[in-house]
Amino acid sequence: MDSREIRLKSRPVGVPGPEHFELASVALPAPGPGEVLVRNRFMSVDPYMRGRMYDRPSYVPPFQVGRPLEGGAVGEVVQSNDPSLSPGDLVLSMLGWREAFVAPASALTRLQAIPGVPDQAFLGILGMPGLTAWAGLTQIGEPKAGETLFVSGGAGAVGSAVAQIGKNLGLTVVATAGSDAKCAWLTSVGVDHAINYRSCGSLLDAVRAAAPKGIDIYFDNVGGEHLEVAIECARPFARLVECGMISQYNATEPPPGPRNIIMVVGKSIRMQGFIVTQFAHLQPQFLAQVGGWIAEGRLKWEETVKEGIAAAPEAFIGLFSGANMGKMLVRL
C-alpha cells in the first residue's frame, strides 16, 4: 500500500513556513506478526509541536530533519496480524502527519465510538486538549464555586474547554480571543466576559472592567502581556496555571519576563506549569465528567478542518496567527 507523509525539511527560525516541510510518498510493507496496517481518518496539529522543531532537549524528543513528523491521529485498522485488533477497529495513535502506517498493535489505543460524538473528538474535547483543560484547571487551579477564572486563548482547543469547564464548576469566566466572531461564540457557550484582545485597547483595563474584584485563577495559553495582566489582576493566593505561551513559541531571542513578577511574592500567588502526561492516570475521571457534560449538552466545541495531507503544514502554521476556531484538524 502506498501512503503520503509530511516530513520536516529544515528547522524553522522564527515562524514556520511552507518551506520547512515536504510531502513524500512511501510504500508501506505488509504488517508483520503483532502489527497492523492503519489508514488515518483525522490528524491533529498542536502548538506544542513547534517546540519539537528545535534541536534541544525537552520533555519530548525533537523531530528529525528528513523524517516524518508525529502527532495525534485517529485511524481505522485495515489489516491486522494481532488478535487484539480487527479490521474496522478505530484506533488512536501518535502517528499522524501521514495517510497510513504499519505499527505494532501495542502502540495503539482501541477507541470505543460514542453515539452522537464524532470520531475526531478523541483528538480534541475527549483527547489530549480536553484532558489538558480539565486536569490543569481542576488539579492545579483548584477551583471553588464563586471564584473568577481568566483564560487566555479562550477560543482555542484547550482554552474553549477550560472556559466551559469553569462555568460548569460554578466559576465566573473571563476569556480572551482574537476576533469578534470568536468572542461571540464564547458568549454563546456561557462565558461571562469575552474580550477581543486585538481591538480592546488596553488589555489590562478590559480585564479589570470584567473582573473588578480581581481573578482567582488564570489559565495561561498565551504568556506575554496576558501573563502580566493576570499577575496585576490576581487576588491574594491566586493560582496561575501555566499550560502554554504561544506568543513566545517562535521568538528568535529570549523575550522579557513579566515586569510585575515581584507581585507573585506580595500576593502569595502560586504559579505552576504542567505537561498533560502528568495527569494521564486521571483519564477515567476526565472521560466520566466531561463525557457527562457533553451528553447533557453542557459542553460544546468547534473544529477547523483542513482537507488532505498536503494541507497539514498550512493547518499547523495557521495556529500561530489564530486561523483556528477551536480544534485545528486535518481530514485525511
Contact 126, 291 (CB under 8 A): yes
29 pLDDT above the threshold of 90 = yes
Tell me the average pLDDT across 153-166: 98
Cβ–Cβ contacts within 10 Å for residue 280, how many?
A: 12
- The correct CATH number of 128-278 out of 3.40.50.720, 3.40.30.10, 2.60.260.20, 2.30.30.30 is 3.40.50.720
Q: Give residue 121's pLDDT.
A: 96
Measured distance CA(256)–CA(221) in Å, rounded: 17
Tell me the average pLDDT across 287-306: 96
Query: Which pTM value belongs to this model?
Result: 0.95
Dihedral angle sign, alpha carbons of residues 273, 64, 153, 133? negative
CA neighbor of 90 nearest in space, from 60, 51, 126: 126
CA atoms within 13 A on the CB side of 233: 28
Task: Provide the grid cell at 146.
Answer: 464563586
Tell me the average pLDDT across 281-298: 95
Residues of the chain with CATH 3.90.180.10: 2-120+301-331
In this predicted structure, which of 238-242, 251-255, 274-278 has the lowest mean pLDDT?
A: 251-255
Tell me the average pLDDT across 283-302: 95
Q: Give residue 37's pLDDT.
A: 98
- The correct CATH number of 2-120+301-331 out of 3.40.50.300, 3.90.180.10, 3.40.50.1100, 3.40.50.10860 is 3.90.180.10
Q: For the chain, what is the mean pLDDT?
A: 97
Confidence of residue 116 (pLDDT cuts 50, 70, 90): confident
Q: Give residue 114's pLDDT.
A: 86
Residues of the chain with CATH 3.40.50.720: 128-278
Q: Give residue 115's pLDDT.
A: 84
Tell me the average pLDDT across 230-249: 97
Buried b (16+ CB within 10 A) or exposed e, 53-81: beeeeeeeeebeeeebbbbbbbbbbbbbb
